[in-house]
Chains A and B, each alone.
Chain A
Amino acid sequence: MPRSLPKTDVVIVGMGAAGGVAALPLTNAGLKVIGLEAGGWLSPRDFAPDELRNGTRNWPQSLQKAAAEAPTVRTTPTDKAVQGGHPMMNAVGGTSMHYWAQSWRLNPWDFEVVSATNARYGSNRLPADSTVEDWPINYQDLEPYYDKVEFTVGISGQAGNVRGSINPQGNIFEGERQRDYPMRPLRSSPFTDLMGNAATDLNWHPFQGPAAITTEVYDGRPPCQYHGFCNKGGCHVQAKSSTAFSTIPKAVDTGNLEVVTFARVTEIKTNAAGRVTGVEYIKGNETFFQPADVVLIASYAYENVRLLLLSKSDAFPNGLANNSDQVGKHYMSHHQGAPVAALFPQDLHNWYGLPAQGVAVDDWADDNFDHSDLDFIGGANLWVHTDRKPISAAKMDTFGEAPAWGSDWKAFVMRNADRSNTSYVQKTTLPYHDNYLDLDPEVTDSMGLPVTRITARYRDNELRIAAFSQDKMEQWYRAAGATHIVRYGLGNAMGASTHAYGGTRMGDNAETNVTDRWGFCHEAPNLGILGASVMGTSGSRNPTLTVQALAWRTAEHLVDNWNSRIA
């Protein structure tokens, strides 16, 4: 029998980018919160500037709970699913420790893809097999929470639209914001200047992207030092605004948050009335039951879905909150692939830089351009960034100019190590029938519990955006003086991704959505879900800031409606 612990107000499963934000408004309001985290606490001393340790050894992620629970992947329901890797991280702060820290708001269009598309182009433009719906909330509903997160977590960037006043230094296509970012953007570099000028020459609208990285002393943390080991590494000076260094310490300071590390949650318990009563978790060799009035799960899309499907009871025989068979549906992994690489005739000065120090073009994203004569809807955020390390530089594409090894290869790499760049192009991705998550019938984790199975593939709309965006990317690189271009494949399988969406979609219709507009389950009103699993569209940019804004909004709703939610 699990050891039963004293009851608490709220349990949050996962102290990462989402749970770590939600904890703050809850504890500020005086609620007692227990945060269960599968990883431990890390300190800046753990983030050595070491490419091999971070990238090759995969230090932040290897041997963690997530690694043992990597989803299996297949493209269609008739294929056999094969286990791949897991890109997520278990730690206090979660993946906000080792992410690139790009912190975008979605475009207003992303919230209303169906109605906006129908209004502008007629009702036959959305893919027939897509299950996309308008979000139950729009950009304006979320704007106050974007603002709170930008200021509390600490985001740097250049605003493009403050209360309708357009600033061409920022993203002129962004939704209206109530004020500037709290910090100026990361500095430009010779390479971002080169690409920014080329985009301007094309009459595009380049701007420096927003990042959860300090550019001045902020909240007691020093500014970014540009040494460039963000990718799969935490920040050595806490300039990266991970929740481990921003919201979680503040929540701990209230005296109302208890973080339990190395806690592996295995089941959410419900009573006969279908209400959630708490969670069961394993720590070391002991099993505990933590009762709570409200449970918030914030364990990333794959684990949120898995935890629900593993939590079967009399009230929910097919998994928690799944009596309408919607858990796992409307899954998307962001189409971040199909990059374009370029070779320039001069050094680009990228040895010191970071993935979030880049320049973006949104002219071909969302519905920022006319799709009347195109065979797709949506688009891509074009992004190029600094950040080069010696191992990955040496593994550069040789652009057909050199063999893969030997003296000629060596001469090529010696000449060109600092002359190539690979774009990062994020594309609108839609949900479809037959793109879903469920439990794998064969593959289990170390405790014998089934892992998540991904069944999904990109469809024509995504592949057409990919081809279109590659044209634009090549045009941009050529305008900047690139002499060689390589385009990579357009993609097919939606494997395990750092940008995974859906599975517990948010919507007013309980027949097609797991959570209501506040992020609480239609079928279990004291169970809330945090993370991109509630998002119904991907947008064409990194999800974390939207995830955090939604998490704050769900937490604030809980505070304001405590009595009705626990009734």
Chain B
Amino acid sequence: MKKIKNKAPFHFPLADKLPSDPSRRALLKGAGIAGAVAVGASPTGAVLGAENQAEVVSNPLALEALETLTAAEAEVLEAICDCLIPSDEHGPGAKEARAAHYIDRSLASHNIDARSHYLCSLTAISEFAQQQHGAAFIDLPRQQQESLIQALQDDEVPGCSPGSSSFFALLRNHTIDGTFCDPYYGGNKNFVGWDMVQYPGVKLSASETDVRQGAALEPNHQSAYDNATYTKMAANIAASKGGDQNA
């Protein structure tokens, strides 16, 4: 097996491509840099200067911790998600939805059983890229990245767990989850997934008119947890009958 070359230093591959959160942008514009420092919620704010702080606030990636994946694994995952649901002439895709961020977080919670599959398979994909093209997956032109993903789907990438095509299926499922889930989970950022399929959004009540309008409804861009009743903020409203009997 060929020796894996050292990768380029880690960078945020999306930093210059992502649309920043419009509300934050407006806030920055209105408040100026000094104001941005005041509202900056970054835990690293203390060691950053005012300029860096402003950059942190305007760049959503800066607030994303790597919760489970290594930096190298996260880069590969980011690139694969981008191929699976690309950003193209029809609009943003999995990258803008932050599907990879969702997956990274989910591997510490409900997808924890899949964590070892990711560790193993993302490395296997990197090694396969090196073998086939002599370069890191993330540095390959898009067409070669796509042919590697096709190989993954066709069960041709060695060393994957639980297997090449089964890892592909897992990854595809999770990328869709991360693109179309409630934004609470770190994906579907700015509702790009729901807008992609013209889902008008979560409603607690849907009238016949709402149904008839369907995709023509103005999207409400609300998370389930914009409804206080489902959050810890809500008062202890009417528990079910006998709810106080829980010992």
Contact of B184 among A50, A62, A386, A404 (CB under 8 A): A50
- B242:A41 contact, CB within 8 angstroms: yes
Closest Cβ neighbor of B199 among chain A residues: A390
> Is the C-beta of B90 less than 8 angstroms from some C-beta in chain A?
yes
B-contact 0/1 string along A218-242, CB 8 Å cutoff:
0000000111100000001000000
Given known A41-B243, A244-B240, A259-B242, contact A52–B88 (CB-CB < 8 A): no
Q: Which residues of A contact B211 (CB under 8 A)?
A: 189-190, 226, 349, 351-353, 386
A269-277, A405-413, A552-560: which lies at the interface: A405-413
- A92:B242 contact, CB within 8 angstroms: yes
- B204:A225 contact, CB within 8 angstroms: yes
Contact of A49 among B177, B180, B200, B204 (CB under 8 A): B204
Which A residues between 388 and 429 are near B, CB-CB below 8 angstroms? 390-391, 393-395, 404-407, 409-411, 413-414, 417-418
Interface of A is mostly: loop
A-contact 0/1 string along B228-247, CB 8 Å cutoff:
01100010011111110111
Given known A41-B240, A43-B240, A405-B172, contact A227–B204 (CB-CB < 8 A): yes
Tell me, in angstroms, the Cα distance from A249 to B176 when the chains sit together. 41
Q: Which residues of B contact A409 (CB under 8 A)?
A: 85
Q: Which residues of B contact A53 (CB under 8 A)?
A: 182, 224
Contact of A347 among B204, B205, B214 (CB under 8 A): B214
Contact of A40 among B84, B173, B182, B246 (CB under 8 A): B246
- B246:A261 contact, CB within 8 angstroms: yes
Q: Which residues of B contact A42 (CB under 8 A)?
A: 240
Q: Which residues of B contact A394 (CB under 8 A)?
A: 176, 179-180, 193, 197
Tell me, in angstroms, the Cα distance from A264 to B158 when the chains sit together. 46
- B110:A56 contact, CB within 8 angstroms: yes
- A261:B247 contact, CB within 8 angstroms: yes
Min distance, Cβ A406 to any Cβ of chain B, angstroms: 6
- B197:A390 contact, CB within 8 angstroms: yes
> Is the C-beta of A3 less than 8 angstroms from some C-beta in chain B?
no
Tell me, in angstroms, the Cα distance from A41 to B202 when the chains sit together. 26
Tell me, in angstroms, the Cα distance from A393 to B184 when the chains sit together. 19
Given known A48-B230, A50-B182, A353-B211, contact A43–B243 (CB-CB < 8 A): yes
> Is the C-beta of A245 less than 8 angstroms from some C-beta in chain B?
yes
- B196:A410 contact, CB within 8 angstroms: yes
A-contact 0/1 string along B63-98, CB 8 Å cutoff:
000000000000000000001111010110100000
Tell me, in angstroms, the Cα distance from A57 to B224 when the chains sit together. 15
Q: Which residues of B contact A58 (CB under 8 A)?
A: 110
Tell me, in angstroms, the Cα distance from A189 to B227 when the chains sit together. 26
- B199:A410 contact, CB within 8 angstroms: no
> Is the C-beta of B149 less than 8 angstroms from some C-beta in chain A?
yes
Q: Which residues of B contact A62 (CB under 8 A)?
A: 110
- A245:B240 contact, CB within 8 angstroms: yes
Which A residues between 26 and 47 are near B, CB-CB below 8 angstroms? 40-45
- A49:B202 contact, CB within 8 angstroms: yes
Tell me, in angstroms, the Cα distance from A50 to B181 when the chains sit together. 8
Tell me, in angstroms, the Cα distance from A227 to B239 when the chains sit together. 21
Given known A40-B246, A248-B241, contact A227–B205 (CB-CB < 8 A): yes
- A347:B241 contact, CB within 8 angstroms: no
Min distance, Cβ B29 to any Cβ of chain A, angstroms: 32
Q: Which residues of A contact B128 (CB under 8 A)?
A: none
> Is the C-beta of B52 less than 8 angstroms from some C-beta in chain A?
no
Which B residues between 180 and 235 are near A, CB-CB below 8 angstroms? 180-182, 184-185, 193-194, 196-200, 202-208, 210-215, 224-225, 227, 229-230, 234
- B197:A41 contact, CB within 8 angstroms: no
Min distance, Cβ B34 to any Cβ of chain A, angstroms: 38
* Contacts between chains A and B (CB distance < 8 A), count: 167
Q: Which residues of A contact B194 (CB under 8 A)?
A: 390
> Is the C-beta of A142 less than 8 angstroms from some C-beta in chain B?
no
Q: Which residues of A contact B180 (CB under 8 A)?
A: 390-391, 393-394
Tell me, in angstroms, the Cα distance from A353 to B153 when the chains sit together. 34
- A227:B202 contact, CB within 8 angstroms: yes
Which B residues between 139 and 186 are near A, CB-CB below 8 angstroms? 146, 149, 153, 172-173, 176-177, 179-182, 184-185
- B237:A45 contact, CB within 8 angstroms: yes
Contact of B242 among A49, A52, A226, A249 (CB under 8 A): A249
Contact of A45 among B203, B213, B230, B242 (CB under 8 A): B230
> Is the C-beta of A252 less than 8 angstroms from some C-beta in chain B?
yes
Closest Cβ neighbor of B206 among chain A residues: A352
Q: Which residues of A contact B176 (CB under 8 A)?
A: 391, 394-395
Min distance, Cβ B77 to any Cβ of chain A, angstroms: 14
Q: Which residues of A contact B88 (CB under 8 A)?
A: 407, 410
Q: Which residues of A contact B93 (CB under 8 A)?
A: 410
Min distance, Cβ B40 to any Cβ of chain A, angstroms: 29
Contact of A43 among B204, B208, B238 (CB under 8 A): B238
Tell me, in angstroms, the Cα distance from A44 to B237 when the chains sit together. 9
- B173:A395 contact, CB within 8 angstroms: yes
> Is the C-beta of A187 less than 8 angstroms from some C-beta in chain B?
yes
- A404:B153 contact, CB within 8 angstroms: yes
Min distance, Cβ A34 to any Cβ of chain B, angstroms: 12
Contact of A245 among B193, B210, B234, B241 (CB under 8 A): B241
Residue in B173, B204, B213 with the greatest tally of chain A CB atoms within 10 Å? B204
Tell me, in angstroms, the Cα distance from A52 to B111 when the chains sit together. 12
> Is the C-beta of A180 less than 8 angstroms from some C-beta in chain B?
no
Tell me, in angstroms, the Cα distance from A352 to B212 when the chains sit together. 10
Tell me, in angstroms, the Cα distance from A460 to B210 when the chains sit together. 45
- A45:B229 contact, CB within 8 angstroms: yes
> Is the C-beta of A51 less than 8 angstroms from some C-beta in chain B?
yes
Min distance, Cβ A285 to any Cβ of chain B, angstroms: 13
Which A residues between 298 and 354 are near B, CB-CB below 8 angstroms? 347, 349-353
Min distance, Cβ A242 to any Cβ of chain B, angstroms: 9
The 9 closest A-B pairs by CB, nearest first: A352-B206, A249-B241, A417-B197, A48-B230, A225-B205, A349-B214, A390-B180, A52-B181, A50-B224
Q: List 25 A-B contacts (CB under 8 A).
A: A40-B246, A41-B240, A43-B239, A44-B229, A44-B238, A48-B224, A50-B202, A50-B225, A92-B240, A227-B205, A227-B206, A228-B206, A244-B240, A347-B215, A349-B213, A350-B214, A391-B180, A391-B181, A395-B173, A405-B84, A406-B146, A407-B90, A410-B93, A413-B197, A417-B199
Q: Which residues of A contact B (CB under 8 A)?
A: 40-45, 48-53, 56-58, 62, 92, 187, 189-190, 225-228, 236, 244-245, 248-249, 252, 259, 261-262, 347, 349-353, 386, 390-391, 393-395, 404-407, 409-411, 413-414, 417-418
Known: A52-B182, A190-B211. 20 other contacts (CB 8 A): A42-B240, A44-B229, A45-B234, A49-B204, A49-B224, A227-B203, A227-B204, A227-B205, A352-B206, A352-B211, A386-B211, A390-B180, A390-B193, A393-B180, A393-B199, A404-B153, A405-B149, A406-B146, A410-B85, A410-B93
